[in-house]
Homo-oligomer: A and B are copies of this chain.
Amino acid sequence: MPEFGPTGRRIIYKDGKPCRSCNTLLDFQMAMPGKAARPAVIAADLTAPVTVVEDKQCPPDVELLGRSSWTLLHSIAASYPANPSPIQQEDIKTFVSIFSRIYPCWFCADDFQAYIKKNEVQVKSQEAFGKWMCEAHNEVNRKLGKKEFDCNLWQQRWKDGWKGDN
């Protein structure tokens, strides 16, 4: 079982098998037993007709799952009430807490749970929750060596659109 994939990342295994939600598709395919030659096939697939891709989409890899989840979470923050009721505050806390336990990439989920323990979810207002979510996202950006986002701009990115664009 290879330790690193073609992207240079360490391959994540669970129960001796590569974890689809925890690796990029390229690394996952490379790590599948007897599939060392697979990346060349993937590269060729990129030129295949779009209909093939649409009809037979693969389960999401760690990157698509991450992007999709942040899109939902930030959008939920963007539509969270400015002045939430106690029930709405409790709901959103419960949602984030369960999310952190059931997120399919298990090591990402572990990291998120640890983050929540140290940085309590802020749910008193839309602004507080939106900023908390932005900072949680930046923690992941830092870990992945990605650019951090200026959290003063979270509403323009996730709620209102960019000033001057609308």
Tally A residues with Cβ within 8 Å of B. Answer: 41
Q: A65–B59 contact, CB under 8 A?
A: no
Most chain B beta-carbon contacts within 10 A, residue among A29, A60, A80, A92? A60
Q: A59–B160 contact, CB under 8 A?
A: yes
- The reply on A32 being an interface residue by CB < 8 A is yes
Tell me which residues across on chain B come within 8 A of A166, comparing CB atoms.
Answer: 29, 32, 35
Least CB distance from A151 to B in Å reads 15
Complex: A29 Cα to B165 Cα, angstroms: 10
Q: B95–A91 contact, CB under 8 A?
A: no
- The reply on A94 being an interface residue by CB < 8 A is yes
Q: How many copies of this chain does one complex carry?
A: 2
Tell me which residues across on chain B come within 8 A of A158, comparing CB atoms.
Answer: 59
Complex: A75 Cα to B20 Cα, angstroms: 10
Interface residues of A in 132-159 (CB under 8 A from B): 157-159
Q: A4-12, A98-106, A114-122: which one contacts chain B?
A: A98-106
Q: B60–A65 contact, CB under 8 A?
A: no
- The reply on A47 being an interface residue by CB < 8 A is no
Q: What are the interface flags for A75-99 relative to B under an 8 Å C-beta threshold, 1 for contact and 0 otherwise?
A: 1101110000000000110110011
Tell me which residues across on chain B come within 8 A of A78, comparing CB atoms.
Answer: 21, 59, 104
- The reply on A44 being an interface residue by CB < 8 A is no
Tell me which residues across on chain B come within 8 A of A59, comparing CB atoms.
Answer: 75, 78, 157-161
Per a CB cutoff under 8 Å, which of B60, B161, B165 touches A20?
B161
A-B CB contact pairs (8 Å), 6 listed: A29-B166, A56-B165, A59-B78, A72-B72, A79-B104, A92-B98
